[in-house]
Amino acid sequence: MAAVCRMLRLAAARYPCRPGVFRQFSAGPSFQYILVERKGQSQNVGFIQLNRPKALNALCDGLMTEINRALDSFEADPQIGAIVITGSEKAFAAGADIKEMQNRTFQECYGGSFLAHWNRVSTVRKPVIAAVNGYALGGGCELAMMCDIIYAGEKAQFGQPEILLGTIPGAGGTQRLTRAVGKSLAMEMVLTGDRINAQEAKEAGLVSRVYPVDKVVDEAITCGEKIAQNSKLIVSMAKEAVNGAFELSLSEGNRLEKRLFHSTFATDDRKEGMTAFVEKRKTNFNDH
Ligand code: CO8
């Protein structure tokens, strides 16, 4: 009995958010601003839907805290191989909550590191796919850009309109947008507040695919399932290597890639992948 108690204590310490994982998939609403489910035939895609329709999914502090909680749960869940974040057909997210920000002072923002926790999406080790319909503006566009892959519905609109509110993007908009679409278009969007549509976003490299409005979420889940079939361990390494391209010089990035590539040879899954190819059979990865 003592041994069982010890095991339970160890498990609780190792996976502190496991009870939350269970609750979020049960019928009880443990989230106020988002819907959280598992999707895909093997239930291996984590699904987060922003759910503040009256405010066009404006990103209030509570909503971002809930997204972070859901991400923590999916990150800790060994069954989940990819995560999809979406909004509604009208709005992915219309930006940070302007009503919540309206009366904030510089001292509160700076002193309290206002919205510092917004970064969590970009630190998840599992791949995150944004399925964007409707408005992705300000913080909404930044949220999409923190994801690894962006799929857009035909009527999606992307923009950084903060300049029209007398402020500037504050969650990576000036940095990630510029890297994605280049200086001229990023400057135009950030300085005028003008939006681009889905097709323009695709041509500029901000999104990888455009689908009919009612197909984009399913396509994002299908992409998540495809990723989740691969070794989760190796997928994380591949994601880390690609992200190195945004942080490092070419030689440092190539060195990181080579080290990660070498590291795959320490895994069961690399051996399994190559053996399965040679034996002309399907792979059976175990994420080790
Ligand atoms: N914040 C709060 N409420 C919002 C927001 C928002 N960003 N966007 C829309 N809403 C609310 C509206 O106030 C309205 O509520 P109500 O009915 O109570 O008045 C409801 O949503 C519906 O909006 P509209 O009536 O305006 O709907 P329309 O279809 O006419 O227009 C638009 C849709 C074009 C999307 C319009 O709502 C709009 O321009 N919204 C604001 C877009 C914007 O400026 N976004 C940027 C916000 S600033 C930001 O994101 C900074 C991020 C910095 C992060 C910093 C991290 C450290």
The per-residue pLDDT for range 219-269, each reduced to its tens digit, is: 999 999 999 999 999 999 999 999 999 999 999 999 999 999 999 999 999
Q: Which residue's C-alpha comes closest to atom 40 of ligand 1? A: 94
Partners of residue 158 on adjacent β-strands: 136, 196
Q: Which residues, in sequence order, are CB contacts of 288 under 8 Å at separation 6+?
A: 233, 267, 268, 269
Position 16 pLDDT exceeds 80? no
The Cα 81–Cα 38 span in angstroms is: 11
- Find the range with the poorest average confidence among 13-17, 77-81, 85-89, 155-159: 13-17
Q: pLDDT-derived band of residue 110, with 50, 70 and 90 as boundaries?
A: confident
The secondary structure of the chain, three-state, reads CHHHHHHHHHHHHHCCCHHHHHHHHCCCCCCCCEEEEEECCCCCEEEEEECCHHHCCCECHHHHHHHHHHHHHHHHCCCCCEEEEECCCCEEECCECHHHHCCCCHHHHHHCCCCHHHHHHHHCCCCEEEEECEEEECHHHHHHHHCCEEEEECCCEEECHHHHHCCCCCCCHHHHHHHHHCHHHHHHHHHHCCCEEHHHHHHHCCCCEEECCCCHHHHHHHHHHHHHCCCHHHHHHHHHHHHHHHHCCHHHHHHHHHHHHHHHCCCHHHHHHHHHHHCCCCCCCCCC
Q: Per the residue annotation, which of 82, 93, 96, 130 is the catalytic one?
A: 96
pLDDT of residue 117: 87
Q: Give the Å distance between the CA of 161 and the centre of ligand 1.
A: 10
142 is annotated as an active-site residue: yes
Nearest alpha carbon to residue 74 among 129, 114, 142: 129
Position 45 pLDDT exceeds 80? yes
pLDDT of residue 50: 98
Q: Of how many residues is the chain composed? A: 288
188 is annotated as an active-site residue: no
Q: Give the Å distance between the CA of 176 and the centre of ligand 1.
A: 21
pLDDT of residue 58: 98
| Stretch(es) of the chain classified as CATH 3.90.226.10 | 2-228
139 is annotated as an active-site residue: yes
Find the mean pLDDT for residues 19-35.
Answer: 61
Q: Give the Å distance between the CA of 58 and the centre of ligand 1.
A: 6
Position 7 pLDDT exceeds 50? no
Q: pLDDT-derived band of residue 18, with 50, 70 and 90 as boundaries?
A: very low
pLDDT of residue 114: 83
Nearest atom of ligand 1 to the alpha carbon of 96: 50
CA dist 140 → 67, 112, 136 (Å): 13, 22, 5
Pocket residues: Cβ below 6 A from ligand 1 = 55-56, 58, 94-99, 114-115, 118, 135, 137-139, 161-162, 165, 169-171
Kindly tell me the burial class for residue 88, based on how many C-beta atoms sit within 10 Å of its own C-beta (0-12, 13-18, 19 or more). middle
Task: Report the CATH number of the 2-228 domain.
Answer: 3.90.226.10
Position 105 pLDDT exceeds 70? yes
Task: Report the CATH number of the 232-279 domain.
Answer: 1.10.12
At 154-202, the pLDDT tens digits run: 999 999 999 999 999 999 999 999 999 999 999 999 999 999 999 999 9
Mean pLDDT over the full length of the chain: 91
- Find the range with the poorest average confidence among 9-13, 33-37, 165-169: 9-13
Find the mean pLDDT for residues 257-286.
Answer: 98
More confident residue, 115 or 177: 177
Q: pLDDT-derived band of residue 111, with 50, 70 and 90 as boundaries?
A: confident
| Stretch(es) of the chain classified as CATH 1.10.12 | 232-279
pLDDT of residue 89: 98
- Distance, C-alpha 200 to centroid of its chain: 22
